Amino acid sequence: MSNKHTELLDFDRQHIWHPYTSMSDPLPSYLVESAKGVEISLVSGESLIDGMSSWWSVLHGYNHPVLNQALIEQAQNFSHIMFGGLTHQPAVELGKKLINLTPEGLDKVFFSDSGSVAVEVAIKMALQFWQSKSETNKHRLMTVRNGYHGDTFAAMSVCDPITGMHQIFERVLMKSIFAPAPKIYINDEWKDDEMLALEALFKKHHHEVAAFIIEPIVQGTGGMRFYHPNYLKAVRQLCDKYQVLFIADEIATGLGRTGKLFACEWAEISPDIMCLGKTLTGGYLTLAATLCTNNIAKTISEGEASCFMHGPTYMANPLACAVANASIDLLIKQNWKEKVSILENQLNNELLPLDNFEKVKDTRVLGSIGVVETHEAVNVANIQKRFVELGVWIRPFGKLIYIMPPLVINPKQLSKLVNAIKTVLNEDNCFIKSY
């Protein structure tokens, strides 16, 4: 590694904050030189198979020629323009695509900067909807435990208050109502009594609840849990029965990851509001969208404020919209469903058997997502170092070692990811002993 690279890493360690990392004792960061396909090249010489899709966002691999060209062509026209009073073709085309692809009834689109902001927008939509109907008592949110919806303030208020990452802010967050997390896994036998506790909360609190928010089928950062589609169906029915808006947070699950284009399709339901983000641009630029029904948009627009009270500076950024259009076109044209099915079959064959390891509590697979849940928490610094030595990029947290690689990964590369996980499961220094 050159002196220049060493200086970059030294400055980074001393001055730049990374996600969920201490500045006094930061976790190591690895300096990236380039990335192409599913491989990340470090300046230190290692080439790593990416198992994380840069936190669920990279869909078609890095440095894709079609997505690169979409950026170049749009940049030659204009890279950004305010969305207040102006519009542009990439945004209009993307809006059409999202309305056509998402579940029926989601006919209005609001673009924003990131997934967390998309959740903020959804919550504001729900609150302003009831305000516009002069039902100001409906001002609270309901959700389930083990959920995760982002790091901004309203989003934090519906993340798990105990096992989540935001309990330090409890005193200043909105007080949401939390139901037990779904207990029945996706392939287990369904029992109707699963919904008794949730319905009791709806019955007790519906007069004050504006919206119920949940991650459809997959609870991500809250434990990588895959729950039963019937739970989602029942939630839709409860929201209808008790006049509560239903928000589906599809930021992590949208656009094919679970084996359905949107995870709501597992239950054949449509929410009142849907949040999209992460992989929307194929991992190129930050962009999110919040879709809602005509009824919500009309009610808000004809209410006291006569408009929806939100407007990010970089709303509907043309570069992001252009690459999102190209990414969605690639996904649809390249038979995404078959690609996800192939990945799922290989993960079933190679990752599920890791359940036999002493350190493993459970293994599970859904679509292109593979999860190994361990008995002991990982030592992030040590296990990250070992993964780099083994030629893969996997970023575990807590007791979860999970992968969701780009859809373009080949069988040999996927096997390398699974074999790396298998290797660290035999190494004690990659885990924190619990006594």
Shared domain for 203 and 308, answered yes or no, is yes
Amino acid, res. 261: L
Shared domain for 364 and 319, answered yes or no, is no
Whether 203 is a known active-site residue: answer no
Q: Which of 50, 124, 138, 148 is catalytic?
A: 148
User: Residue 244 burial by CB count (10 A; 0-12/13-18/19+): exposed, middle or buried?
Assistant: buried
In a domain, 252, yes or no: yes
Helices (H), ranges, 243-309? 294-301
Whether 402 is a known active-site residue: answer no
In a domain, 407, yes or no: yes
Q: Which of 113, 249, 260, 359 is catalytic?
A: 249
In a domain, 16, yes or no: no
Shared domain for 302 and 200, answered yes or no, is yes
pTM: 0.96
Whether 278 is a known active-site residue: answer yes
- Report the pLDDT value the prediction gives residue 435, as an integer from 0 to 100: 52
Distances in Å between the alpha carbon of 9 and those of 1, 24, 46, 285, 385? 11, 15, 16, 24, 16
Rg value, the chain, Cα? 22
Distance (Å, whole) CA 292 – CA 270: 10
In a domain, 20, yes or no: no
> Would you write out the chain's pLDDT as a tens digit for each of its 435 residues?
789 999 999 999 999 999 888 899 898 999 999 999 999 999 999 999 999 999 999 999 999 999 999 999 999 999 999 999 999 999 999 999 999 999 999 999 999 999 999 999 999 999 999 999 999 999 999 999 999 999 999 999 999 887 666 778 888 888 999 999 999 999 999 999 999 999 999 999 999 999 999 999 999 988 999 999 999 999 999 999 999 999 999 999 999 999 999 999 999 999 999 999 999 999 999 999 999 999 999 999 999 888 999 999 999 999 999 999 999 999 999 899 999 999 999 999 999 999 999 999 999 999 999 999 999 999 999 999 999 999 999 999 999 999 999 999 999 999 999 999 999 999 999 999 865
In a domain, 166, yes or no: yes
Distance (Å, whole) CA 384 – CA 393: 8
Shared domain for 73 and 53, answered yes or no, is no
How many domains does the chain fold into? 2
Shared domain for 184 and 274, answered yes or no, is yes
Report the SS3 class of residue 393: strand
Q: Which of 108, 124, 278, 359 is catalytic?
A: 278
In a domain, 19, yes or no: no
Q: CA-based angle 425:426:430, to the nearest 5?
A: 65
Q: Between the CA atoms of 232, 233, 236 and 237, what dihedral angle is there, to the nearest 10 degrees?
A: -140
Question: For strand 369-374 and strand 400-403, is the pairing parallel, antiparallel, or unpaired?
Answer: antiparallel
State phi, psi for 176 to the nearest 5 degrees.
Answer: -90, 165
Shared domain for 249 and 100, answered yes or no, is yes
Shared domain for 252 and 365, answered yes or no, is no
Assign residue 412 the CATH number of its domain.
3.90.1150.10
Distance (Å, whole) CA 113 – CA 421: 34
Nearest to 338 by CA among 414, 256, 262: 256
- Report the pLDDT value the prediction gives residue 215, as an integer from 0 to 100: 98
Q: Given 333, 362, 383, which residue is the final one in a domain? A: 333
Shared domain for 162 and 290, answered yes or no, is yes
Element (H, E) at 144: strand 140-144
In a domain, 12, yes or no: no
Distance (Å, whole) CA 375 – CA 431: 9
Q: How many CB atoms are closer than 10 A to CB 36?
A: 12
Distance (Å, whole) CA 360 – CA 217: 23
Q: Given 289, 316, 333, which residue is the final one in a domain? A: 333
CB-based burial, 316-334: b 16+ in 10 Å, e otherwise: bbbbbbbbbbbbbebbeee
In a domain, 14, yes or no: no
Q: Are 80 and 314 in contact, with CB atoms under 8 Å apart? A: yes
Residue 387 sits in which domain range? 31-60+335-430
Distances in Å between the alpha carbon of 428 and those of 229, 317, 373, 386? 37, 47, 15, 12
Whether 249 is a known active-site residue: answer yes
Long-range contacts of residues 64-73, Cβ cutoff 8 Å, at least 24 apart: 64/282, 64/330, 66/326, 66/330, 67/282, 67/284, 67/323, 67/326, 67/327, 67/330, 69/326, 70/322, 70/323, 70/325, 70/326, 71/284, 71/319, 71/322, 71/323, 73/322
Shared domain for 347 and 242, answered yes or no, is no
Shared domain for 145 and 199, answered yes or no, is yes
Q: Which of 20, 175, 191, 204 is catalytic?
A: 20
Across-strand partners of 246? 212
Nearest to 287 by CA among 90, 89, 65, 86: 90
Shared domain for 343 and 380, answered yes or no, is yes
- Report the pLDDT value the prediction gives residue 24, as an integer from 0 to 100: 92
State phi, psi for 249 to the nearest 5 degrees.
Answer: -90, 95
Positive or negative torsion for Cα 29, 33, 37, 39: negative
Q: Return the structure tokens found at 404.
A: 């969701």
Amino acid, res. 266: W
Q: Are 251 and 275 in contact, with CB atoms under 8 Å apart? A: yes
User: Residue 2 burial by CB count (10 A; 0-12/13-18/19+): exposed, middle or buried?
Assistant: exposed
Distance (Å, whole) CA 205 – CA 83: 38
Assign residue 257 the CATH number of its domain.
3.40.640.10
Shared domain for 274 and 237, answered yes or no, is yes
Q: Given 307, 333, 359, which residue is the final one in a domain? A: 333
Spacing of C-alpha 257 from chain mean position: 10
